[in-house]
Amino acid sequence: MKVAVAGGTGLVGGMVVAELRAAGHEPVVLSRSRGVDLRTGSGPTTLATVALYALRFRSGLWGYLAAGVAGCRAVIDVSNVVTISRKTSVEFFAAASRNLVAAAHRAGVEHLVALSIVGCDRVDFGYYFGKRAQEEVVAGGPVPWTILRATQFFEFPEPLLAKRIALVPRMLSQPVAAADTAAELVRLVEREPVGRAPELGGPERLDMVDVARRLSAAHGRRGLVVPVSPPGRVGAAMRGGALLPRGEHACGNRTFAEHLAAIRAAR
């Protein structure tokens, strides 16, 4: 099966692409680095990328997003923007989702699977408003859909730890391996659309500050991890478990201890 992967060069996207290939599918990566800007539907800006894109999809210099999904039976959307701004997040996810859904519909795509976040409708954090907008566009669109809400990844604090002083939010989570999330997305895309799939979390509840400190130690870093908490209701909700799965949910196989052991082994 030919599957377009929006955001296929990111952390989870790269794993989704690998999972699809391992399962015998044909992934098509949609990302800015591969010539597609989901926010606008426009294409490459350099002559070299234009030539490569035109040759690959034989579409001339128009319809870049449409060409990317052409012939695909399904789409997996793991596109992302790094921001805490509500405005930036909503603008990105709403526009990217509208463009992707429209292109998928025109191409006759039979299944769109989108990755979202557990609790994004219970915590009024800027970034989460964008995920709500994404879900609304997907669920209200003409393409049969599945939305998978996952908890934070084990890898979530990694970008923060690159600094000597890492400001890490106090957050009660049930973190899951990004690889387990990718595997679940591929499992879902191989099946019939179900609407809202069971939420996905990891095997144990952990405080994100503790996760960050244990990650830092596993990497052998000497930076300082400083706990921070958003003010008011947002911080209280994060600390109080609003981002935990509720009811029956799917569970990833990898433990955080196994994740740390793999990091130490790779050093």
Q: Rounded CA gap, 242 and 192, in Å? A: 29
Percentage, residues of the chain above pLDDT 70: 91
Note the pLDDT of residue 258: 97
Report the amino acid identity of residue 114. A
174 contact partners, CB below 8 Å, separation of at least 6:
118, 151, 201, 202, 204, 205, 206, 244, 245
Closest alpha carbon to 32 in 9, 55, 15: 9
- The mean predicted confidence, pLDDT, of the chain is 91
Note the pLDDT of residue 200: 98
User: Can you tell me whether residue 204 is helix, strand or coil?
Assistant: coil
Which carries the bigger pLDDT value, residue 111 or residue 60? Answer: 111
Q: Rounded CA gap, 17 and 184, in Å? A: 13
Residue 44 CA to its chain's centroid (Å): 23
Lowest mean pLDDT among 34-48, 66-80, 198-212: 34-48
User: pLDDT tens-digit profile of 228-237?
Assistant: 998 999 999 9
User: pLDDT tens-digit profile of 44-86?
Assistant: 434 344 444 444 444 333 357 888 899 999 999 999 999 999 9
Q: 173-199 in b/e burial notation, b at 16+ Cβ within 10 A?
A: bbbbbbbbbbbbbbebbeeebeeebbb
Q: Rounded CA gap, 77 and 213, in Å? A: 31
User: pLDDT tens-digit profile of 121-173?
Assistant: 999 999 999 999 999 999 999 999 999 999 999 999 999 998 889 999 999 99
Q: Taking residues 20-37, what's their average pLDDT? A: 91
Angle, helices 256-266/208-219, rounded to nearest 10 degrees: 20
pTM given for the model: 0.90
> Above 70 in pLDDT, residue 222?
yes
Q: Taking residues 89-112, what's their average pLDDT? A: 96
Q: Taking residues 201-208, what's their average pLDDT? A: 96
Note the pLDDT of residue 32: 85
CATH superfamily of 2-266: NAD(P)-binding Rossmann-like Domain (3.40.50.720)
Give DSSP secondary structure letters for 11-44.
Answer: HHHHHHHHHHHHTT-EEEEESGGGT-BTTTTB--
**Contact between 30 and 67 (Cβ < 8 Å):** no
